[in-house]
Amino acid sequence: MFFLKDLPEDNAEQVLELARKAIGENKIIGIDSSESPNWVQRFQKVVLKARLLGLKIVTHCQENTTDQSGGEVLHFLQPNRIDHGYFMHEDQKILEKIKNDNIHITMCPFWSTRGSKFPNKKDYPIKKYLDFGLSININSDYPAYHGATINEGLIYVQDMWNLTKKE
């Protein structure tokens, strides 16, 4: 289940109530959708309620350069996993917090290096994150829409950044 950042907080409260009813089946609540002003602070209370129910928190974070600060996301929402996080590498303190708090990052390089986010594919931070010792995985981000499976994404990543099997 997801809280949508571009909808009001009362919508997130309704989603949380649905999650509460399905708590045996649902262990994660996500925060997704288009960016909206001050979404981190607006969702802080409902995220705390979700945490008190034992739900893990997953959120998109710095998918775009215009997103709210990664530091605000980490401080106010304390996510268990971050999706995308493309521009967090610009702040060493954020990387240290992610590593120290063992926050996992899901990345979708096949899609994001083919668009305007990274005109120079080598600027995509996957190698920086690996070298820093962060926990990451590769995902496909809508394979039917973007035209790549997870396997294709893994091959793409290994070829693009000359990664070893261990990496």
Non-local (6+) Cβ contacts of 40 within 8 A are 68, 72, 73, 76, 77
Name the catalytic one among 13, 25, 35, 63.
63
Examine the residue annotation and report whether 63 is marked as an active-site residue of this protein.
yes
Closest CA to 79 of 38, 125, 31: 31
Closest CA to 107 of 131, 76, 130, 79: 130
Closest CA to 58 of 137, 142, 2: 2
Q: Are 110 and 87 in contact (CB under 8 A)?
A: no
Residues taking part in catalysis: 63
